[in-house]
Amino acid sequence: MTLHSALPLIALFLNAALVGVSILRNPASRLNRVFAYFATALALWNFGVFMLRRAPDEASAYLWEVVIHVGVIAIPVFYYHFVLIFLDSTTRRRPALALAYGLAIIFSAINASGSALFMTGVKSTHWGWAPATGPLYTPFFLYFNAFMIYGLCHLAKAYRTIDSSFRRNRVMLVLLATFISLIGGFVDFARFILTRFLPAADQAYPLGIPGNMILVFMIGLSIVRYRMFDVDVALKKAAIYCGVAAVVTSLLVGLTWTLEQQFRLEETSALWIVIPLGLIMTLFLSPFGHGLESQVERLIFSKRRGCYDTLLNLSNRMSAILDSGKLVDTLVRGLARGIPLTHCVVMLYDRAANLFVPYREESTTGEESGIAPIRADSSIAQWLAQADGVLVKEEVKINRQMAVYFEAVEGELEQIPASLLVPLKIENKLTGILLLGEKLSGEVFDDQELEVLSVVANQAAISLENARLYEQLGSSNARLLQASQLKSQFLASMSHELRTPLNSIIGFSKVLLNRIDGDLTDRQDSYVRSVHSSSMHLLELINSVLDISRIEAGKQELDLQEIDLHDLMDECIESSAPLARGKPLKIEKDAPLELPRLRGDRTKVKQVLLNLLSNAVKFTATGRVMVRVRPEPDAVHVSVADTGIGIREADLPRLFEPFQRLDSPLARDAGGTGLGLAISKKFVELHRGRIWAESRENHGSTFHFVLPLTPAS
């Protein structure tokens, strides 16, 4: 078999592969179907030529010529139809398309009838059998070239107006492919016609088949590179395995040959060498097989890896950001500059307007995309809300389901300046849309990249939601803080207002009790005593509330002075002594003679110590209360230990919270406001000190506080 006769067979296989790819990929797509018809017509042509070149006699050669022409007549019409769908202009060009189909039917009928008007027979030429053309062959030739050229012109015109770079590349490939194959077809048919007048034309090589092969090859390329039918990944893998297989096989053959030469094994069966060698190589390769595959992939598709790495890196960076503005910035910038893309936009849902509005945009071309808000009830938003992954704009035409969905709102999607629309969803609700322009490399996103992209988008949606919640928390915290300050202010002024009348109640009841204005009956005396002690309690409570609210409103300031701790302890012990009267209770003091100089607010420190001491005395029936002071580097440590009722471990954490009075019989009898420890804590903290308690129930308590020698301002 010569190359001349094998060529149509090779072209036939290529055609068959194209038919397979386009039909398998998406049989429902009109574009794929028409393309498959076109490739089938090409295949029929090639098959016919292959058989023709082997035809033994004139009769069978004529039969194969008819078969060839069945294919050839269909080529321009399917090609033209394919171009129209591809460019989305079937409706506008309907009359031309109808004309093409009409002519194709007429020529097919004439060809099938075996009429001499089309072919008078076959003749033997320099390159094999060729048709002897009849008078209708020239119109057929014109029809063929007219529609091929017409399609070509549409493509060329569209090429200039298409703004998507990868679509343009795709169109360019189809355009060149058609052009080259057209030259082939032209040469072929011209040969048949011209030989009538110019016998030398017969010598020209029939370029139809090589032209056809180039057409198939380039359309194949446009499919692979520009995702016309998305067979990228499968072909890549196939290429890798073919490459690896080729290397392994040639190694094997080389080794076998060397071994044969070396050991003169020509007489023995080759199997004895090949099988053990194959086993050894498999053993040798299998541990490396996986690594080898990834190495090859890295080598051939390094650019793709760059895109994954960008996406993965971005997802890592985003998870650490809690500010929504920064997060969106990182996302759009990372995508636009990292991949890189022409531009990238994040649109977020605006509840009030029921719109998705552009929130951040990053462009690498210096041009604004000029995107308008998208209505939340628009078909695009609705599609994204229910879609699982990325919406590839180019695929809308190819995918039947999408094509039907978007048909009604054509234009709406077209107007969006993006090649990918990625939904940002939280709990299945669309919260935003990520728009990606095209890769600056002009490549398209492959399936794996789209998958990683939708994972990144999911993560971005979650991070954005987290950031939003975090910000919301921050602002409600601020509001709460404000509310709490208002409450404290209110309490401060209320307490102040209450104190004035209370002071006159206390004052005048004291006057009555002192009998300055005359005697009282015993009953009157006991009533007035009760009024007086209750008012005193109330005053104490009001003072405490005032203290605490002043602190909370941030109005307490320290009046710093030097404090003599010995003096302070003595005063406090003296004041608490009356409380211990009648109890077998000793109050003791333990402090080194030399104590460091402490700077602080004397009144407040005294109030703290007094409160701890009076609590200790209150909650201890017998035993002793020990006040201890120990100097520490840059601080003093004061503790008040008692042998009283102690505190349950569970109660310790809330001891210093306002209005906490623990439930114990003695505590209930002891009276008090539940504010003493809370105030003490605030006062100690105002000095930048620390206060805490240690206790075991029924085993006494020890309260500690540590004050720095000079509280930092």
Q: Which residues bind ligand ADP (CB under 6 A)?
A: 611, 615-616, 619, 642, 644-645, 647, 655, 660-662, 667, 672-678, 701
Of 463 and 611, the one with the shorter C-beta distance to ligand ADP is 611
Cβ-based nearer residue to ligand ADP, 152 or 617: 617
Please report where in the chains the tokens 């939904």 appear, as a residue. Answer: 423
Three-state secondary structure call for residue 232: helix
Q: CA-CA distance, 232 to 166, in Å (whole number)?
A: 15
Q: Rounded distance, CA 285 to CA 246, Å?
A: 14
Query: Is the separation of the CB atoms in 281 and 305 below 8 Å?
Result: no
CB of 670 to ligand ADP, least distance (A): 7
Main-chain dihedrals φ then ψ at residue 196, nearest 5 degrees: -60, -40
* Sequence-ordered list of residues with C-beta below 8 angstroms from that of 2, at least 6 positions apart, any chain: none
569 or 645, CB closer to ligand ADP?
A: 645
Cβ nearer to ligand ADP, comparing 496 with 699: 699
Nearer to ligand ADP, 373 or 623 (CB): 623
Instruction: State which amino acid sits at residue 81.
Output: H
Smallest gap from Cβ 690 to ligand ADP, in A, equals 17
| DSSP state letters, 580-604 | HTTSSEEEEEE--SS---EEEEHHH
- Residue whose entry in the numeric block shows the structure tokens 């082939």: 184
State the Cα–Cα distance between residues 11 and 206, nearest whole angstrom.
Answer: 14
Beta carbon of residue 703, minimum distance to ligand ADP (angstroms, whole number): 6
Q: Which is nearer to ligand ADP, 143 or 705 (CB)?
A: 705
Nearest distance from C-beta of residue 515 to ligand ADP, angstroms: 32
- The closest of 432, 438, 423 to 465, measured between CA atoms, is 432
* Surface-to-core class of residue 653, CB atoms within 10 Å of its CB (0-12 exposed, 13-18 middle, 19+ buried): exposed
Which stretches does DSSP call E strand in 138-213?
A: none
Asked if 420 and 390 count as a contact pair (C-beta separation under 8 A), the reply is: yes
Complex with ligand ADP: residue 363 or 543, whichever CB lies closer: 543
Which distant-in-sequence residues (6+ apart) come within 8 Å of 699 by Cβ?
Answer: 643, 646
The alpha helices in 514-601, defined as continuous H runs, are 522-552, 565-580
Contact (Cβ atoms closer than 8 angstroms) between residue 553 and residue 593: no
Residue 417 or 644: which CB sits closer to ligand ADP?
644
Q: 118 vs 619, which CB is nearer to ligand ADP? A: 619
DSSP run (H or E) holding 356? strand 355-363
Least distance between ligand ADP and beta carbon 665 (Å)? 11
* Least distance in angstroms from the C-beta of 667 to ligand ADP: 4
What is the rounded CA–CA span in Å between residue 498 and residue 492? 10
Smallest gap, in angstroms, from Cβ of residue 657 to ligand ADP? 9
Comparison of 131 and 676: residue with beta carbon closer to ligand ADP = 676
Vertex 490: Cα angle to 487 and 493 (nearest 5)? 150
Tell me how far apart the alpha carbons of residues 555 and 590 are, in angstroms, rounded to a whole number. Answer: 35
In the bound complex, what is the minimum distance in angstroms from residue 572's beta carbon to ligand ADP?
14
Report, in Å, the least distance between residue 516 CB and ligand ADP: 33
- Choice between 26 and 673, CB closer to ligand ADP: 673
Min CB(663)–ligand ADP separation in Å: 8
Residue 674 contacts residue 658 (beta carbons within 8 Å): yes
Task: Decide whether 600 or 672 has the Cβ nearer to ligand ADP.
Answer: 672
Specify the residue, 123 or 661, whose C-beta has the smaller distance to ligand ADP: 661
- Alpha-carbon dihedral sign for residues 703, 704, 710, 713: negative
In three-state secondary structure terms, 560 is strand
Of 42, 4, 40, 16, the closest CA to residue 212 belongs to 42
How far is 272 from 277, CA to CA, in rounded Å?
Answer: 9
Give me the least distance between CB of 642 and ligand ADP, in Å please.
Answer: 5
Q: What DSSP assignment string belongs to 45-59?
A: HHHHHHHHTT--SHH
Residue 7 to residue 4: CA distance in whole angstroms = 6
Nearest residue (CB) to ligand ADP, 110 versus 617: 617
Query: What is the closest distance, in whole angstroms, from the C-beta atom of residue 681 to ligand ADP in the complex?
Result: 9
* DSSP characters over 386-415: H-SS-EEGGGGTT-HHHHHHHHTTTTTTTT
Are 703 and 616 a contacting pair, CB within 8 Å? yes
Tell me whether residue 169 or residue 673 sits nearer to ligand ADP (CB atom): 673
Smallest gap from residue 544 Cβ to ligand ADP (A): 8
- Residue 429 C-beta: closest distance to ligand ADP, Å: 49
**Minimum distance, C-beta of residue 535 to ligand ADP, in the bound complex (Å):** 17
* Sign for the pseudo-dihedral over CA of 241, 243, 244, 248: positive
Structure tokens at 66: 């008819």
